[in-house]
Chain A
């Protein structure tokens, strides 16, 4: 049998979760004041002359203040979830990510000893980490595309500074282009720092990943102040 709960101070047997106009309307006090306004004024300590004198307003204010104390005590409670919750979430996430790696999530690695691939997300995290390590720079988006994928940029925009950005199609099965967005601290010299980002990304691609980076697009999308 269903439980019909009643709402204290509300119409008896009001349906749970009901969201009709009756739920929205705020009955004015007998003196005509908006009851919610009086309530807010009471807890904020901004009651006006009428509200301080009017018996209806005073009753409403007394209710407000009576509840406010215990509500504050409850708001001050800071229960925290046990670590097992987040551990469980992250374990499930990592399992899913690994289990669902699709070909388009992987970059081909130029191993002489057999077929080898690298998670694109893992590679992006390494490149972001390199940028984060630079003074006044933070990486945001980092998209890595195989040059041979034919999608997006052609890899011939000459921005790489490595002199090898002329590969087309399947001739360069391991080369990638990197599009990265960064935020920078106010006052950093954007031109020189982005040139350095380019160098670092190309170097990290080769040294940490073994992935030849043919071009790097950098967009500065925001500036921040040191706290």
Chain B
């Protein structure tokens, strides 16, 4: 009697991918407002969550990138934050915007990551990066384009030297354009504290950037 088992012991079949690539939300689902998508996702609708994540991932990624300073860590932080968001969605009350809630998750993730990273980074490692990044442009660099890039590079480096909480407030305000109240909700600080941190960040950065004017 023929059995599959006997045959397969000799010649195992090729592996078939068990799980197909996850299908996307439909075009109609992509058009839905955040509130509708959140309600659906909370009821277990994976595609509704996917649509939400697709819609907001670029903004969340920008925030992560500017908080942690490199793409690899930003990608990790974004991935973990989105998984967190999915797991905690049933605790999202909807009394703030989904974006505010998601920004908070990303901010907390990134601040955690920075704290952990700081505990393991040595002086030598920092020294390798910092002088090069902070170096002034060569005297008389002629090209405007080179000047622009160098200015941005200097700002990026200067951002890294800010205390984390200041950097978070500054990025949310000046690069993402959020208001003080929303930043306070995201960072868990008072509006007064947010305003103070943003101001200190501005002054600190302005000082560094003075050489670029």
Q: Is the CB of B75 within 8 A of A81?
A: yes
Contact with B along A147-160 (1 / 0, CB 8 A): 00000000000000
Whether B137 sits at the interface, judged by CB under 8 Å, is: no
**How many inter-chain contacts with C-beta < 8 Å in the A-B complex?**
201
Given contacts A39-B199, A73-B152, A79-B62, contact A67 B43 (CB under 8 A): no
CB distance from A41 to the nearest CB of B (A): 13
Contact with B along A107-150 (1 / 0, CB 8 A): 00000000000001100110011001100001111110000000
- Chain A residues near B83: list those with CB within 8 A: 89, 92-93
Which of A11-19, A48-56, A167-175, A204-212 is the interface stretch? A11-19
Interface centre among A14, A69, A94, A124 (most CB of B within 10 A): A94
Q: Is the CB of A85 within 8 A of B78?
A: yes
CB distance from A168 to the nearest CB of B (A): 26
Q: Is the CB of B163 within 8 A of A15?
A: yes
User: Which residues of B, 138-190, contact A by the 8 Å Cβ criterion?
Assistant: 148, 151-152, 154-156, 158, 161-166, 174-177, 189-190
The 9 closest A-B pairs by CB, nearest first: A121-B44, A9-B207, A24-B196, A63-B206, A81-B61, A9-B204, A36-B199, A24-B193, A8-B204
**Chain B residues in the interface with A (C-beta under 8 A):** 19, 21-22, 26, 28-29, 32-33, 35-36, 39-40, 43-47, 49-50, 53-54, 57-58, 61-62, 65, 71, 74-75, 78-79, 82-83, 86, 111, 115, 118, 121-123, 126, 148, 151-152, 154-156, 158, 161-166, 174-177, 189-190, 192-193, 195-200, 202-210, 212-213
